[in-house]
Amino acid sequence: MYTRSIAVLLVCWVSFAAAELSHDLGPSLGKPAPTDFESVVAPDGTGLPAGEGSVTGGRTLYATHCVACHGSDGTQTGNSLAGGRGTLTSTRPLKTVGSYWPYATTLFDYVNRAMPYGNEKSLSENEVYAVTAYVLYLNDIIPADTRLTNHNLAAVVMPNRDGFRSSPDYQPAGRGGPHSE
């Protein structure tokens, strides 16, 4: 008897939970589009919050918040942030921040939104500048005495900056792309 009521309750709960889920994941048709999107940092640095951080400060933060998953020098197998330079055209390309990513600003944006994994957005913006600096330092892209700010981050030239070709379809409007008027 008890088992039966529990089963009925369970079925009710599961269908309720499923209805809730499908409601959440639905297309939200007929509702105004949300206007409170987070700002997006563009390759040229547009959208970067004001702030600064140094390689030295980043070293300490990295040791506390990043080292467990990415390794002491950023080269943890399977989750590396550093190394791999010159491997992209080989049969075993290793894509890392240093070997693959075209813009340093994306590194800031990514860490700011998505790291430390499982504890996202726990670092202040200044702390994110500092770990960004440290990860770039681990990749030999900037020297140890560098202090990154919202003014100089976009000027950091990434090794694979010219390794990407943008599709003509992605030309922003007004720059002669096929969709511009």
Collect all residues with Cβ–Cβ distance below 8 Å to 84 and sequence separation of at least 6.
93, 94, 95, 96, 98, 99, 100
Shorter beta-carbon distance to ligand HEC: residue 106 or 171: 106
Copy the structure tokens of residue 10: 């369970």
Shorter beta-carbon distance to ligand HEC: residue 22 or 119: 119
Least distance CB 36 / ligand HEC (angstroms): 24
Copy the structure tokens of residue 28: 């939200």
Please, which of residues 85-114 interact with ligand HEC by CB under 6 A?
A: 96-97, 107, 110-111
Please, which of residues 112-151 interact with ligand HEC by CB under 6 A?
A: 115-118, 123, 131, 135
Q: Does 65 interact with ligand HEC (rule: CB under 6 A)?
A: yes
Collect all residues with Cβ–Cβ distance below 8 Å to 114 and sequence separation of at least 6.
120
Q: Does 74 interact with ligand HEC (rule: CB under 6 A)?
A: no
Give CA–CA dist 83/100, Å, rounded: 10
Q: Is 144 exposed, middle or buried (0-12, 13-18, 19+ CB in 10 A)?
A: exposed
Total interface residues for ligand HEC by CB under 6 A: 19
Least distance CB 151 / ligand HEC (angstroms): 21
Residues that bind ligand HEC (CB under 6 A): 65-66, 68-70, 79, 81, 96-97, 107, 110-111, 115-118, 123, 131, 135
